[in-house]
Structure 1
Amino acid sequence: MSEVSSVSADLFLLDSLHDFQEHSLKLIEQSRRTIAILSHDLDVLLYGAPEFVQAISNFVRSSRHAQVQILVKNTKPLAETGHDLAKLHQRLSSKILLRKLTVEPQNTEMGFMLCDTSALLYKNDDNNYKGFANFNAAVEVTRLRETFDYVWQYGEPEPELQTLHI
């Protein structure tokens, strides 16, 4: 179960899949404009959960300005297994952008979700459910957004995840 940090009432220490699922939904619900996700393989238990995919769908449909950017290091499992978030990307490709990571950030182990300019879900190691959610982390989000934007510019669309519009 997540625990509130003694540092801030907006900071929650997470140590289970359930914690990450719960806080990711809360972060999406409070988002208004942008969500950015950096992940090694877009963990299907977290980012492919039906509740998460539905929350993202609701988010991008909530405003014409709402947009999701997803950077994934290993896109092969997405194409092979039919990840629900990747399928949503195919249906809403102008609102949900997905690219393959081609340039590594300095911290190659981390994974995160940035929501607007101040909320953050962070996994210390993208393969483990240890990290934190911070609902008031403007400084950290700004720093991570710079990292995300840098690697995003070198990211490439994954041809196997693109849909042909005729």
Structure 2
Amino acid sequence: MLDLSRHVLGETDTPVPLETSDDCRAAATELVRQGHRTLLIFTHDLDRKVYDDADFIDAVSALARRHHLSWVRILVQDMEPVIHGRHRLVELAGRLTSRIEIRHAHPDHRSFNKAYLVVDDTGLLLRDTARGYSGSVNFYAPHAAREYAALFHKAWDVGERDPNLNRLHL
């Protein structure tokens, strides 16, 4: 099991390799748990093995509620799996609508073949491919984190709220 107990957001500049969905879930949960204000997730299909975990949901909920300026933005390339099945992160977004927003990536951004998570413009979890689990996490990578955040914001600005999310039973 991946041990990130000594890694501190904003301090530990040591990339840690990720190989499995368990590694990605543990790294995502620990990064978000240490976050203070912002979380960006760029994902192919809101991978259930990583983002539909009780500990991860608790961490996202705590971050979203931590401060009145906290927010979470999630950009999904393929909404079908999200719409056609119960997902705890979608349910949380339905309860915290002023803090968590999910958008469908514009077609121009649906072929981007990486997945990533940025916390507080400092921590970065980067998966080498959108559907794979190999990659790395770094708790202090402000330059790379800001680069990926900038990519995210460009895609976010043209992304759309999927009307199907409004119809989900939350």
Q: TM-score, normalised by structure 1?
A: 0.89
Q: Contact conserved, 2:37 with 2:66, CA < 8 A, in 1?
A: no
**Structure 2: segments with no counterpart, 5+ residues:** 5-11
1:96 paired residue among 91, 96, 100: 100
Over residues 34-93 of structure 1, what are the superposed CA-to-partner deviations in whole Å (9 max), with x where a residue is unaligned? Answer: 000000100011011111111111111111111100000111211110211011111111
Matched, 1:23 2:27: yes
**Structure 1: segments with no counterpart, 5+ residues:** none
Q: Contact conserved, 1:105 with 1:147, CA < 8 A, in 2?
A: no
Correspondences of 1:58-77 after superposition (within 5 Å): 58-77=62-81
Q: Contact conserved, 2:13 with 2:141, CA < 8 A, in 1?
A: no
Amino acid at match of 2:38: T
Q: Percent identity?
A: 28
SS in structure 1 opposite 2:84? Answer: helix
Q: Contact conserved, 1:112 with 1:120, CA < 8 A, in 2?
A: yes
The 1:110–1:82 alpha-carbon spacing in structure 2 relative to 1, beyond 3 Å, is same
Residue of structure 1 equivalent to 2:82: 78
Question: How far off its partner does 1:105 sit?
Answer: 4.3
Q: TM-score, normalised by structure 2?
A: 0.87
Number of equivalences:
161
Rounded to whole Å, the distance in 2 between the matches of 1:104 and 1:137 is 27
Matched, 1:38 2:42: yes
Question: How far off its partner does 1:103 sit?
Answer: 4.3
Rounded to whole Å, the distance in 1 between the matches of 2:24 and 2:108 is 24
